[in-house]
Protein backbone atom coordinates (compact mmCIF):
# COMPACT_ATOMS: atom_id res chain seq x y z
CA UNK A 1 0.00 0.00 0.00
CA UNK A 2 1.40 3.38 -1.00
CA UNK A 3 2.53 5.79 1.74
CA UNK A 4 -0.11 8.36 0.70
CA UNK A 5 -2.88 5.79 1.08
CA UNK A 6 -1.49 4.61 4.41
CA UNK A 7 -1.65 8.21 5.65
CA UNK A 8 -5.31 8.46 4.57
CA UNK A 9 -6.14 5.21 6.37
CA UNK A 10 -4.40 6.46 9.51
CA UNK A 11 -6.31 9.77 9.35
CA UNK A 12 -9.64 7.95 9.10
CA UNK A 13 -8.73 5.73 12.05
CA UNK A 14 -7.79 8.81 14.07
CA UNK A 15 -11.15 10.42 13.25
CA UNK A 16 -12.96 7.20 14.20
CA UNK A 17 -11.17 7.13 17.55
CA UNK A 18 -12.27 10.68 18.34
CA UNK A 19 -15.84 9.96 17.23
CA UNK A 20 -15.92 6.92 19.50
CA UNK A 21 -14.60 8.93 22.44
CA UNK A 22 -17.05 11.80 21.92
CA UNK A 23 -20.14 9.60 21.93
CA UNK A 24 -18.66 7.13 24.47
CA UNK A 25 -18.86 4.12 22.19
CA UNK A 26 -18.70 1.66 25.09
CA UNK A 27 -21.93 2.88 26.67
CA UNK A 28 -23.76 4.10 23.52
CA UNK A 29 -25.70 0.85 22.84
CA UNK A 30 -26.87 0.74 26.47
CA UNK A 31 -27.99 4.38 26.31
CA UNK A 32 -29.90 3.63 23.11
CA UNK A 33 -31.72 0.79 24.90
CA UNK A 34 -32.65 3.22 27.68
CA UNK A 35 -33.98 5.73 25.13
CA UNK A 36 -36.07 3.02 23.47
CA UNK A 37 -37.50 1.96 26.83
CA UNK A 38 -38.47 5.54 27.70
CA UNK A 39 -40.13 6.04 24.31
CA UNK A 40 -42.35 3.04 24.96
CA UNK A 41 -43.66 4.71 28.13
CA UNK A 42 -47.31 5.60 27.45
CA UNK A 43 -47.07 8.76 29.61
CA UNK A 44 -44.14 10.21 27.67
CA UNK A 45 -46.18 12.60 25.52
CA UNK A 46 -47.96 14.07 28.51
CA UNK A 47 -44.90 16.32 28.60
CA UNK A 48 -44.40 17.31 24.91
CA UNK A 49 -41.24 19.35 25.55
CA UNK A 50 -39.54 16.45 27.35
CA UNK A 51 -40.73 14.00 24.70
CA UNK A 52 -39.38 16.10 21.84
CA UNK A 53 -36.01 16.49 23.52
CA UNK A 54 -35.87 12.77 24.20
CA UNK A 55 -36.67 11.95 20.57
CA UNK A 56 -34.08 14.46 19.35
CA UNK A 57 -31.37 13.09 21.67
CA UNK A 58 -32.18 9.53 20.63
CA UNK A 59 -32.01 10.42 16.94
CA UNK A 60 -28.63 12.12 17.40
CA UNK A 61 -27.28 9.01 19.14
CA UNK A 62 -28.68 6.71 16.42
CA UNK A 63 -27.10 8.85 13.68
CA UNK A 64 -23.75 8.95 15.52
CA UNK A 65 -23.71 5.16 15.90
CA UNK A 66 -24.71 4.58 12.28
CA UNK A 67 -22.07 7.01 11.03
CA UNK A 68 -19.34 5.41 13.13
CA UNK A 69 -20.24 1.89 12.00
CA UNK A 70 -20.54 2.91 8.35
CA UNK A 71 -17.14 4.63 8.30
CA UNK A 72 -15.57 1.68 10.15
CA UNK A 73 -17.06 -0.86 7.71
CA UNK A 74 -16.18 1.19 4.59
CA UNK A 75 -12.62 1.62 5.84
CA UNK A 76 -12.19 -2.11 6.31
CA UNK A 77 -13.78 -2.93 2.94
CA UNK A 78 -11.62 -0.49 0.99
CA UNK A 79 -8.37 -1.55 2.69
CA UNK A 80 -9.25 -5.16 1.87
CA UNK A 81 -9.99 -4.25 -1.77
CA UNK A 82 -6.66 -2.45 -2.13
CA UNK A 83 -4.75 -5.39 -0.70
CA UNK A 84 -6.64 -7.80 -2.97
CA UNK A 85 -6.13 -5.58 -6.03
CA UNK A 86 -2.41 -5.22 -5.35
CA UNK A 87 -2.06 -8.99 -4.88
CA UNK A 88 -3.82 -9.66 -8.19
CA UNK A 89 -2.23 -6.75 -10.06
CA UNK A 90 -5.66 -5.17 -10.71
CA UNK A 91 -4.91 -1.44 -10.95
CA UNK A 92 -8.58 -0.57 -11.62
CA UNK A 93 -9.79 -2.06 -8.31
CA UNK A 94 -6.94 -0.36 -6.45
CA UNK A 95 -7.74 2.99 -8.06
CA UNK A 96 -11.45 2.79 -7.23
CA UNK A 97 -10.77 1.77 -3.64
CA UNK A 98 -8.25 4.58 -3.17
CA UNK A 99 -10.78 7.12 -4.52
CA UNK A 100 -13.38 5.76 -2.08
CA UNK A 101 -10.87 6.07 0.76
CA UNK A 102 -10.26 9.74 -0.07
CA UNK A 103 -13.99 10.45 -0.02
CA UNK A 104 -14.28 8.51 3.24
CA UNK A 105 -11.46 10.58 4.73
CA UNK A 106 -13.33 13.80 3.93
CA UNK A 107 -16.52 12.41 5.48
CA UNK A 108 -14.68 11.24 8.61
CA UNK A 109 -12.98 14.63 9.02
CA UNK A 110 -16.33 16.42 8.70
CA UNK A 111 -17.96 14.11 11.25
CA UNK A 112 -14.98 14.54 13.57
CA UNK A 113 -15.50 18.29 13.42
CA UNK A 114 -19.24 17.93 14.08
CA UNK A 115 -18.41 15.80 17.11
CA UNK A 116 -16.68 18.81 18.63
CA UNK A 117 -20.02 20.65 18.72
CA UNK A 118 -20.83 19.30 22.16
CA UNK A 119 -21.38 22.54 24.04
CA UNK A 120 -24.46 22.96 26.20
CA UNK A 121 -26.43 24.78 23.49
CA UNK A 122 -24.50 23.81 20.33
CA UNK A 123 -27.28 21.54 19.10
CA UNK A 124 -29.92 24.27 19.37
CA UNK A 125 -31.49 26.44 16.71
CA UNK A 126 -30.18 29.99 16.68
CA UNK A 127 -31.07 33.64 16.29
CA UNK A 128 -28.81 35.74 14.07
CA UNK A 129 -28.90 39.55 14.06
CA UNK A 130 -27.08 41.86 11.67
CA UNK A 131 -26.77 45.61 12.29
CA UNK A 132 -25.21 48.18 9.98
CA UNK A 133 -22.43 50.24 11.53
CA UNK A 134 -21.54 53.88 10.99
CA UNK A 135 -21.26 54.82 7.35
CA UNK A 136 -24.80 55.33 6.10
CA UNK A 137 -25.69 53.68 2.80
CA UNK A 138 -22.33 51.88 2.54
CA UNK A 139 -22.79 50.03 5.83
CA UNK A 140 -26.46 49.31 5.11
CA UNK A 141 -25.49 47.72 1.81
CA UNK A 142 -22.79 45.70 3.58
CA UNK A 143 -25.37 44.51 6.13
CA UNK A 144 -27.59 43.27 3.29
CA UNK A 145 -24.61 41.46 1.73
CA UNK A 146 -23.93 39.73 5.05
CA UNK A 147 -27.60 38.77 5.35
CA UNK A 148 -27.50 37.18 1.90
CA UNK A 149 -24.25 35.38 2.80
CA UNK A 150 -25.68 33.77 5.92
CA UNK A 151 -28.98 32.86 4.27
CA UNK A 152 -27.05 31.17 1.45
CA UNK A 153 -24.90 29.31 4.01
CA UNK A 154 -27.98 28.12 5.91
CA UNK A 155 -29.73 26.98 2.72
CA UNK A 156 -26.67 24.94 1.71
CA UNK A 157 -26.85 23.23 5.10
CA UNK A 158 -30.53 22.46 4.54
CA UNK A 159 -31.52 24.68 7.47
CA UNK A 160 -34.81 26.52 7.78
CA UNK A 161 -34.49 30.33 7.75
CA UNK A 162 -37.26 32.52 9.20
CA UNK A 163 -37.17 36.32 9.02
CA UNK A 164 -37.88 37.77 12.47
CA UNK A 165 -37.55 41.50 11.83
CA UNK A 166 -36.09 43.85 9.25
CA UNK A 167 -35.38 47.57 9.05
CA UNK A 168 -34.45 48.79 5.53
CA UNK A 169 -31.82 51.44 4.89
CA UNK A 170 -32.91 54.89 3.76
CA UNK A 171 -31.38 54.55 0.28
CA UNK A 172 -30.33 50.91 -0.02
CA UNK A 173 -29.53 47.84 2.02
CA UNK A 174 -30.56 47.15 5.60
CA UNK A 175 -30.15 48.98 8.87
CA UNK A 176 -30.83 45.75 10.72
CA UNK A 177 -32.24 42.28 10.17
CA UNK A 178 -32.85 39.27 12.42
CA UNK A 179 -33.36 35.62 11.47
CA UNK A 180 -34.19 32.41 13.26
CA UNK A 181 -32.14 29.58 11.74
CA UNK A 182 -33.28 26.05 12.53
CA UNK A 183 -31.34 22.85 11.98
CA UNK A 184 -28.92 20.41 13.65
CA UNK A 185 -26.10 22.29 15.43
CA UNK A 186 -27.20 25.64 13.94
CA UNK A 187 -25.97 27.56 16.98
CA UNK A 188 -22.83 25.45 17.30
CA UNK A 189 -21.74 26.40 13.79
CA UNK A 190 -22.82 30.03 13.77
CA UNK A 191 -21.70 31.09 17.26
CA UNK A 192 -18.21 31.81 15.93
CA UNK A 193 -19.63 34.52 13.63
CA UNK A 194 -20.50 36.99 16.41
CA UNK A 195 -18.50 40.20 16.10
CA UNK A 196 -17.76 43.07 13.75
CA UNK A 197 -17.23 42.33 10.05
CA UNK A 198 -15.23 44.81 7.92
CA UNK A 199 -15.60 45.34 4.17
CA UNK A 200 -13.12 47.16 1.89
CA UNK A 201 -14.22 47.80 -1.71
CA UNK A 202 -14.75 50.33 -4.47
CA UNK A 203 -18.10 51.84 -3.54
CA UNK A 204 -20.91 51.39 -6.09
CA UNK A 205 -22.50 54.49 -4.53
CA UNK A 206 -19.48 56.74 -5.08
CA UNK A 207 -19.35 58.40 -8.50
CA UNK A 208 -15.64 59.04 -7.95
CA UNK A 209 -15.08 55.27 -7.59
CA UNK A 210 -13.12 55.63 -4.36
CA UNK A 211 -12.33 52.82 -2.00
CA UNK A 212 -14.54 52.68 1.12
CA UNK A 213 -14.39 50.75 4.41
CA UNK A 214 -17.68 49.63 5.97
CA UNK A 215 -18.55 47.85 9.20
CA UNK A 216 -21.52 45.74 10.29
CA UNK A 217 -22.02 43.69 13.43
CA UNK A 218 -23.28 40.11 13.62
CA UNK A 219 -24.65 38.68 16.86
CA UNK A 220 -25.61 35.05 17.32
CA UNK A 221 -27.38 33.48 20.30
CA UNK A 222 -29.13 30.12 20.79
CA UNK A 223 -32.86 29.49 20.79
CA UNK A 224 -33.53 28.38 24.34
CA UNK A 225 -35.12 24.94 24.65
CA UNK A 226 -38.39 24.74 26.56
CA UNK A 227 -36.64 22.56 29.14
CA UNK A 228 -34.23 25.39 30.04
CA UNK A 229 -35.81 27.75 32.54
CA UNK A 230 -35.02 31.43 32.13
CA UNK A 231 -36.85 33.65 34.63
CA UNK A 232 -37.72 37.14 33.43
CA UNK A 233 -39.35 39.33 36.08
CA UNK A 234 -42.28 41.40 34.70
CA UNK A 235 -40.86 44.51 36.39
CA UNK A 236 -37.58 44.06 34.49
CA UNK A 237 -39.08 44.48 31.02
CA UNK A 238 -40.81 47.22 29.04
CA UNK A 239 -43.05 46.20 26.15
CA UNK A 240 -43.75 48.72 23.37
CA UNK A 241 -45.95 48.23 20.32
CA UNK A 242 -45.51 50.14 17.10
CA UNK A 243 -46.45 50.06 13.43
CA UNK A 244 -44.00 47.92 11.48
CA UNK A 245 -42.52 49.40 8.33
CA UNK A 246 -43.40 48.00 4.93
CA UNK A 247 -43.29 48.69 1.23
CA UNK A 248 -46.64 50.46 1.23
CA UNK A 249 -49.65 49.79 -0.98
CA UNK A 250 -52.40 47.37 -0.04
CA UNK A 251 -50.07 45.34 2.21
CA UNK A 252 -48.98 48.23 4.45
CA UNK A 253 -49.41 47.50 8.17
CA UNK A 254 -52.10 49.84 9.57
CA UNK A 255 -52.08 48.53 13.17
CA UNK A 256 -49.52 48.70 15.97
CA UNK A 257 -48.75 44.98 15.76
CA UNK A 258 -44.96 45.03 15.95
CA UNK A 259 -43.49 44.46 19.41
CA UNK A 260 -40.32 45.74 21.05
CA UNK A 261 -39.24 44.34 24.43
CA UNK A 262 -36.55 46.09 26.46
CA UNK A 263 -34.85 44.24 29.32
CA UNK A 264 -34.13 47.11 31.70
CA UNK A 265 -31.32 45.57 33.83
CA UNK A 266 -29.19 44.61 30.82
CA UNK A 267 -30.42 47.07 28.17
CA UNK A 268 -31.13 44.22 25.75
CA UNK A 269 -33.72 45.14 23.11
CA UNK A 270 -35.50 42.59 20.91
CA UNK A 271 -38.15 43.15 18.25
CA UNK A 272 -40.55 41.18 16.08
CA UNK A 273 -42.74 42.51 13.28
CA UNK A 274 -44.98 39.69 12.06
CA UNK A 275 -48.69 40.39 11.38
CA UNK A 276 -50.00 39.20 14.75
CA UNK A 277 -49.20 41.18 17.91
CA UNK A 278 -49.73 38.04 20.01
CA UNK A 279 -47.27 36.13 17.82
CA UNK A 280 -44.80 39.00 18.02
CA UNK A 281 -44.91 39.04 21.83
CA UNK A 282 -44.18 35.32 21.90
CA UNK A 283 -41.32 35.58 19.38
CA UNK A 284 -39.79 38.60 21.11
CA UNK A 285 -39.98 36.99 24.56
CA UNK A 286 -38.28 33.84 23.27
CA UNK A 287 -35.59 35.98 21.67
CA UNK A 288 -35.09 37.88 24.94
CA UNK A 289 -34.73 34.65 26.93
CA UNK A 290 -32.23 33.41 24.37
CA UNK A 291 -30.20 36.62 24.69
CA UNK A 292 -30.20 36.31 28.48
CA UNK A 293 -29.13 32.69 28.19
CA UNK A 294 -26.31 33.73 25.87
CA UNK A 295 -25.15 36.24 28.49
CA UNK A 296 -24.95 33.41 30.99
CA UNK A 297 -23.00 31.25 28.55
CA UNK A 298 -20.60 34.13 27.96
CA UNK A 299 -19.98 34.46 31.68
CA UNK A 300 -19.14 30.77 31.91
CA UNK A 301 -16.67 31.11 29.04
CA UNK A 302 -15.34 34.57 29.93
CA UNK A 303 -11.68 33.62 29.69
CA UNK A 304 -12.03 32.05 26.25
CA UNK A 305 -14.19 34.91 24.98
CA UNK A 306 -11.66 37.49 26.16
CA UNK A 307 -8.84 35.61 24.47
CA UNK A 308 -10.74 35.56 21.16
CA UNK A 309 -11.60 39.24 21.28
CA UNK A 310 -7.96 40.11 21.88
CA UNK A 311 -6.92 38.29 18.71
CA UNK A 312 -7.89 41.25 16.55
CA UNK A 313 -6.44 44.74 16.33
CA UNK A 314 -7.63 46.63 19.40
CA UNK A 315 -8.27 49.62 17.16
CA UNK A 316 -11.15 47.77 15.57
CA UNK A 317 -12.81 46.73 18.84
CA UNK A 318 -14.52 43.39 18.30
CA UNK A 319 -13.65 43.07 14.62
CA UNK A 320 -13.26 39.41 13.74
CA UNK A 321 -12.97 39.30 9.96
CA UNK A 322 -11.98 41.48 7.01
CA UNK A 323 -13.43 41.12 3.52
CA UNK A 324 -11.18 42.94 1.04
CA UNK A 325 -12.48 43.26 -2.52
CA UNK A 326 -10.13 46.07 -3.61
CA UNK A 327 -7.21 46.48 -4.36
CA UNK A 328 -6.89 42.68 -3.99
CA UNK A 329 -9.23 39.78 -3.16
CA UNK A 330 -8.96 38.36 0.36
CA UNK A 331 -11.17 37.30 3.26
CA UNK A 332 -9.19 36.88 6.49
CA UNK A 333 -10.27 35.94 10.00
CA UNK A 334 -8.27 37.94 12.54
CA UNK A 335 -8.64 35.33 15.29
CA UNK A 336 -7.50 32.17 13.50
CA UNK A 337 -5.60 33.77 10.56
CA UNK A 338 -7.63 31.50 8.26
CA UNK A 339 -7.92 33.20 4.87
CA UNK A 340 -9.00 32.69 1.27
CA UNK A 341 -8.84 34.63 -1.98
CA UNK A 342 -12.21 33.20 -3.07
CA UNK A 343 -14.15 36.25 -1.90
CA UNK A 344 -17.16 35.52 -4.11
CA UNK A 345 -17.41 31.99 -2.75
CA UNK A 346 -17.44 33.32 0.82
CA UNK A 347 -20.07 35.94 0.02
CA UNK A 348 -22.11 33.12 -1.56
CA UNK A 349 -22.08 31.28 1.76
CA UNK A 350 -18.90 29.15 1.73
CA UNK A 351 -18.12 29.75 5.40
CA UNK A 352 -17.39 26.25 6.71
CA UNK A 353 -13.62 26.72 6.52
CA UNK A 354 -13.76 29.79 8.77
CA UNK A 355 -16.15 28.14 11.23
CA UNK A 356 -14.02 24.98 11.37
CA UNK A 357 -10.86 26.98 12.05
CA UNK A 358 -12.52 28.84 14.92
CA UNK A 359 -13.99 25.66 16.36
CA UNK A 360 -10.61 23.94 16.27
CA UNK A 361 -9.02 26.94 17.98
CA UNK A 362 -11.71 26.89 20.68
CA UNK A 363 -11.10 23.21 21.39
CA UNK A 364 -7.33 23.73 21.49
CA UNK A 365 -7.79 26.68 23.86
CA UNK A 366 -10.02 24.68 26.20
CA UNK A 367 -7.56 21.76 26.16
CA UNK A 368 -4.71 24.08 27.16
CA UNK A 369 -6.86 25.62 29.90
CA UNK A 370 -7.73 22.16 31.26
CA UNK A 371 -4.07 21.15 31.19
CA UNK A 372 -3.11 24.30 33.10
CA UNK A 373 -5.74 23.59 35.74
CA UNK A 374 -4.43 20.06 36.20
CA UNK A 375 -0.90 21.39 36.70
Annotate 330-343 with DSSP letters as a single string: EEEETTT--EES-H
Q: Of 72, 88, 115, which marks where a domain is finished?
A: 115
Give the pLDDT of residue 310.
43
Q: Does one domain contain both 7 and 77?
A: yes
- Is residue 362 situated within a structural domain? yes
Q: Does one domain contain both 213 and 274?
A: yes
Q: Does one domain contain both 217 and 181?
A: yes
Q: Does one domain contain both 213 and 268?
A: yes
Task: Name the 3-class secondary structure at 160.
Answer: strand
CATH number at residue 177: 3.30.70.1660
Q: Of 86, 115, 144, which marks where a domain is finished?
A: 115
pLDDT per residue, tens digit, the chain (375 aa), is: 788 999 999 999 999 998 898 888 999 999 999 999 998 888 888 888 788 878 888 888 898 899 999 999 999 999 999 999 999 999 999 999 999 999 999 999 888 888 878 777 888 899 999 999 877 889 999 999 999 999 999 999 999 999 999 999 988 999 999 999 999 889 999 999 999 999 999 988 877 778 889 999 999 988 876 555 677 888 999 999 887 655 444 444 456 678 999 999 888 998 888 778 888 888 888 888 888 887 877 765 554 345 334 433 333 456 899 999 998 999 999 999 999 999 999 999 999 999 988 888 876 555 454 444 444
Q: Does one domain contain both 212 and 157?
A: yes
- Is residue 375 situated within a structural domain? no
Give the pLDDT of residue 317.
57
Q: Of 81, 115, 149, which marks where a domain is finished?
A: 115
Q: Does one domain contain both 192 and 101?
A: no
- Is residue 121 situated within a structural domain? no
Q: Does one domain contain both 289 and 147?
A: yes
Q: Which domain holds residue 131?
A: 126-369
- Is residue 265 situated within a structural domain? yes
Q: Does one domain contain both 359 and 223?
A: yes
The 8 Å CB, 24+ separation contacts for 223-226 are 223/124, 223/125, 223/126, 223/127, 223/180, 223/182, 223/187, 223/286, 223/290, 224/121, 224/124, 224/286, 224/289, 224/290, 224/293, 225/49, 225/53, 225/124, 226/49
Give the pLDDT of residue 303.
42
Q: How many Å apart are CA 346 and CA 359, to the nearest integer?
A: 18
Q: pTM of this prediction?
A: 0.67
Residues facing 260 on adjacent strands: 240, 271
Q: Does one domain contain both 103 and 12?
A: yes
- Is residue 177 situated within a structural domain? yes
Q: Does one domain contain both 71 and 209?
A: no
Q: How many CB atoms lie within 10 A of CB 312?
A: 20
- Rounded CA Rg of the chain: 24
Give the pLDDT of residue 179.
96
Give the pLDDT of residue 8.
93
- Is residue 374 situated within a structural domain? no
User: What are φ and ψ of residue 273, in 5° steps?
Assistant: -135, 45
Q: How many domains does the chain have?
A: 2
Question: Could you tell me which residues come within 8 angstroms of residue 370 by beta carbon, excluding any fewer than 6 positions away?
Answer: none
Q: How many Å apart are CA 235 and CA 194, to the nearest integer?
A: 29
Give the pLDDT of residue 10.
94
Q: How many Å apart are CA 179 and CA 193, to the nearest integer?
A: 14
Q: Does one domain contain both 111 and 155?
A: no
Task: Name the 3-class secondary structure at 102.
Answer: helix
Give the pLDDT of residue 316.
47
CB-CB contact of 272 with 280 (8 Å):
yes
- Is residue 173 situated within a structural domain? yes
Give the pLDDT of residue 332.
97
CATH number at residue 67: 1.20.58.410
Q: Does one domain contain both 110 and 132?
A: no
Q: How many Å apart are CA 284 and CA 299, to the nearest integer?
A: 23
Amino acid sequence: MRAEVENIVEAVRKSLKLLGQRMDLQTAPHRLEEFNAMIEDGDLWSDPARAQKLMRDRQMLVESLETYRRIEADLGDNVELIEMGEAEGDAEIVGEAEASLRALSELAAAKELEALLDGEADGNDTFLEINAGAGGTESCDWASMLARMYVRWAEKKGYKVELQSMSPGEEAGLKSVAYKISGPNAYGWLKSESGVHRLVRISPFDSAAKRHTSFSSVWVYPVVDDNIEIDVAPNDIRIDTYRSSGAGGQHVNTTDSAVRITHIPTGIVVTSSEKSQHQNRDIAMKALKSRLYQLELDKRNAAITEAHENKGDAGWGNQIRSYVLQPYQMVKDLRTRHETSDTQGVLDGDLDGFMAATLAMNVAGMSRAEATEEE
